[in-house]
Amino acid sequence: MAISKRTVRELIGAAMAVRRNAYAPYSKFPVGAALLADDGSVLTGCNVENSSYGLSCCAERNAVAAAISCGKRGLVAVAIAADTAQPVAPCGACRQVLSEFNPRMTVIMVAKEGLTKTARLDRLLPYAFGPRQLRADNKKK
Report d(CA 68, CA 7) in Å as an integer.
Answer: 21
Choosing from 49, 60, 100, 113, the catalytic residue is 60
Measured between alpha carbons, how far is 42 from 90 in angstroms, rounded to an integer?
18
Question: Is residue 113 among the annotated active site residues?
Answer: no
Other beta carbons within 10 angstroms of residue 24's beta carbon come to 17
Catalytic residues: 60
